[in-house]
Amino acid sequence: MNELIKKLEDANVGKVSQDEPLAKHTTMKIGGPADILVEPNSIEDLKKTVEIVKDSGLRWTAIGRGSNLLVMDEGIEGVVIKLSKGMDHLEENGEEITVGGGYSLVKLSTIMSRKGMAGLEFASGIPGSVGGAVYMNAGAHGSDMSQILKKALILFEDGTMEWLTCKEMEFSYRTSILQKRPGICLEAVLQLKQGDRESITEVMQKNKDYRKETQPWNHPCCGSVFRNPLPNYAGQLIESSGLKGHSIGGAQISDMHANFIVNTGDAKAKDVLDLIQLVKQTIKEKHDIDMETEVEMIGRENS
């Protein structure tokens, strides 16, 4: 492990940390340590990082801003690559923009709205990165990433990089091809449209206000925990089953929105997993519906 750290540091790929608590890098404030955490300076440095890690025989895992993510209490084995400041470039070419996978989705939607560019209004309250949003086809208010993505630069597990078109991304509800063929979005080309700045800003503010009024962002959480089993809605099913406000350890099903699990201060991943299991069992018994999680769960199994 020390030899690998030295190789990464000598290659000057970015910030390298050992036994870094991932609770510091997730919106839920939960997660054990990464054996090694690398925050690359650029796409080239990220590719170099993957090559060095592969040569060492260790596995690598990529994260963005840590939303929609539950990291296990035992942490993550091998190397965690975080897309952050070195991966947050933005280039504008008329109605087409090219943006790094580490760029904040909220920040991007705000900047574009101020320029009168339409298409990202749905993203005004989604607290993740562009790369993470592409990975899971993030969406809200009747739109999602599949509506604006032209193509994405993907780094696959074997270290190869490839541009995939929107069609090749195989988007569907909160999923993409990247769940089947693991990889990370390094860069995205988005197609926006010139619109009326006031109207766009008004829609964005309405979306922000709605989230503020209905979702518990004042507590550490990971966003929606379950996919909506349409035509039903996860939050309504959980609430009608009497689980709203239910707690296990430091984790609680939000009493504001039942499809959110919040960290009340000292929650462990195990507490969240136990709540998820309780919801699944209860909804199956009461409604005969199999609930699927939207949150991504990664790391060593809890002992």
Helices (H), 119-255: 130-136, 197-214, 234-240
Cα-based angle 17, 24, 226 (whole degrees, multiple of 5): 125
Per annotation, catalytic residue among 20, 121, 187, 294: 294
**Which two three-digit tokens encode residue 301?**
């199994």
d(CA 162, CA 154): 5
From 109, 129, 224, 254, active-site residue: 224
The two structure tokens encoding residue 152: 């994405």
Choose, from 39, 146, 174, 254, the residue flagged as catalytic.
174
Ramachandran sector of residue 137 (left: φ over 0; alpha: ψ -120 to 50; beta: rest): left
Nearest by Cα to 202 from 132, 100, 118, 259: 118
Assign residue 66 a region (left: φ > 0; alpha: ψ between -120 and 50; beta: otherwise).
left
Annotation says 241 is catalytic: no
DSSP H helical segments within the chain, as ranges? 2-10, 43-56, 105-114, 130-136, 197-214, 234-240, 269-287
How many residues can be counted in the chain? Answer: 303
User: 3-class DSSP state for residue 106?
Assistant: helix
- C-alpha atoms less than 13 angstroms from C-alpha of 153 in its C-beta half-sphere: 16
Strand 143-144 versus strand 14-21 pairing type: unpaired
Amino acid at 130: V
Q: Is 294 a catalytic residue?
A: yes
Quickly list H helices, 19-104. 43-56
Alpha carbon separation from 91 to 48, 88, 124 (Å, rounded) = 23, 10, 20
List active site positions. Answer: 174, 224, 294
